[in-house]
Each structure stands twice: as structure tokens, then as C-alpha cells.
Structure 1
Amino acid sequence: MASVAAGYLPILLFLGVAIVLSAAFVVLPMIAAKFTGADKPYPDKLAEYECGFPAFEDSRAQFDVRFYLVAILFIIFDLEAAFLYPWAVSLGAIGFAGWLAMMIFLVELTLGFVYAWKKGALEWE
């Protein structure tokens, strides 16, 4: 029975460290804000600092759906490029079957890209 419990010790240690670190990342900034006065804002702290002029409209305005669609398409094609590097490195070991599988994957990906292009997913007004 003791050996079974000892098997869970690394998991419990990992969980304990994760809880302590996550609590520290939440509590320590609050304590630092109390000591530095960051919890008491005044008008100069709330002023625009990046562009130098007030925003034209509400900063909580919703984005167009096309923005998210373009972002998702970017992630898909970025992951595709990430899959190509290990495939190219191991091509000698995986042989013709690996080459054929990647070609099928690239054809499917190209068809998806053409479909998104034809549907106007990449058009921006």
C-alpha cells in the first residue's frame, strides 16, 4: 500500500508547486500594487500613453467576424508549415509512404485554401 502512495508523490509535489506558484502570481502583484500606489489611480495614470490622443470610439467594440476567420486561417497555415519541417527532416526514414501522406495532406490543405479564397474569407473591405 505504501508503494502505491509513493507513486503518487511526484504528482502531489507537482500539484503543490503549481498551486504555490499560481497563488504567488496572483497575490504578489496585489501586494506590489499596494506598496507602489498603483491601486489608487489618478487622471495622469489613466491618460493615453501609446498614441497620444483619445480613442475615436469605444474600446470594447466588437470585431468583424472576418478578423477571427483570417486569424484562424493564419493559425492553420502556420501549423501546416510547422508540420513540414519535421517531415522534411525524417523523409529519408519514413520513405514513400510518408511522402505520399504529406502530399495528400498538402492537397487537402490547398483545397481548403482555395475554398476559403473562393468564399471570400480572405477579402477585406
Structure 2
Amino acid sequence: MSTHLILSSVIFVALALILVGVFLLTRYLGPNKTEDKLKNTVYESGVTNPVGSTNIRFSVKFYLVAIGFLLFDVEIIFMFPWAVNILELGFAGIIKMFIFIGLLFAGLIYMYKKKALSWD
């Protein structure tokens, strides 16, 4: 057997034993659960008795705003390295970035036409 295989096996077993040991220590050394009814009640922003059901449906506009945020957040991630290396990329890099920005602008227009950016 290879020494690397033996070493990795020993490390794997040691980590597994340490993990089991940590779980056992927290079980026996940690605080015990108490059957306090006041502690287990719902508390939400000062309201002790929540009103309504927790199974409410959200409007699709919330999801469109979230997707739009991710879309334009990822845009910045791709544009920063381009801006740093603009001289090395040359004219072809500029054309590719304008195509990329155009596609993102088309997504913004789509969101505007679906009225995802306007709130009722």
C-alpha cells in the first residue's frame, strides 16, 4: 500500500473520531432541554400571537426582483476584470463587452416591460 493512502486513511478516521467526540461532548456538557412553555412560544417582533397562516403565497414580482438583482450583481463580477484588462484585450474585448452589456440591457428592458420594477 502507498504511504499516502495510509496517511489519508488515518487522517480521515481521526477526523471522524474527533467529530463524534465533539457531538458527544456537546450532548453531555451542553444545556439540557427544558419543557418551558413560555420559552417555546412564537415571538415575532413583539407580537406574541401571530396573525394569519404561514403558508402565504408571494407575488411573482418578488422573485423577478431577486432574479434581476442577481443578474445585475453578476454583471459587475464580469465587468471588473474586463475593466482591469481592457488594454490587453484590445478592440475585440471591447466588442465582446458591448455585446454582453447589450444582452444585460435587453434583460433590463424585459423586466421593465413585465413591470417587475414598479410597485403597486
Pair in the same fold by TM > 0.5: yes
- Tell me how far 1:35 sits from its aligned partner: 3.1
Q: How does 1:1-125 map to 2 (within 5 A)?
A: 9=5, 16=12, 20=16, 24=19, 28=23, 31-32=26-27, 35-38=30-33, 40-49=34-43, 51-53=45-47, 54-125=49-120
Aligned residue pairs, count: 113
Normalising by structure 2, we get a TM-score of 0.70
Q: Higher mean Cα deviation, 64-73 or 95-104?
A: 64-73
Cα 1:85/1:61, change in 2 over 3 Å: same
Residue by residue over 1:70-109, the C-alpha shift from the partner in whole angstroms, topping out at 9 and shown as x without a partner, is 1111111100011111111111111111111011100111
Structure 1: 5+ residue stretches without partners: none
Instruction: Give the Cα–Cα distance (whole angstroms) in 2 for the partners of residues 107 and 29 of structure 1.
Output: 57
SS in 2 for 1:36: coil
- Tell me how far 1:30 sits from its aligned partner: 9.8
Instruction: Give the Cα–Cα distance (whole angstroms) in 2 for the partners of residues 90 and 29 of structure 1.
Output: 53
- Tell me how far 1:110 sits from its aligned partner: 0.4
Structure 2: 5+ residue stretches without partners: none
AA at the equivalent of 2:66: A
Cα 1:60/1:94, change in 2 over 3 Å: same
Instruction: Name which one, 1 or 2, has greater alpha-carbon Rg.
Output: 2
Normalising by structure 1, we get a TM-score of 0.67
Instruction: Give the Cα–Cα distance (whole angstroms) in 2 for the partners of residues 63 and 41 of structure 1.
Output: 35
Cα 1:102/1:66, change in 2 over 3 Å: same
Instruction: Give the Cα–Cα distance (whole angstroms) in 2 for the partners of residues 72 and 29 of structure 1.
Output: 42
Cα 1:104/1:121, change in 2 over 3 Å: same
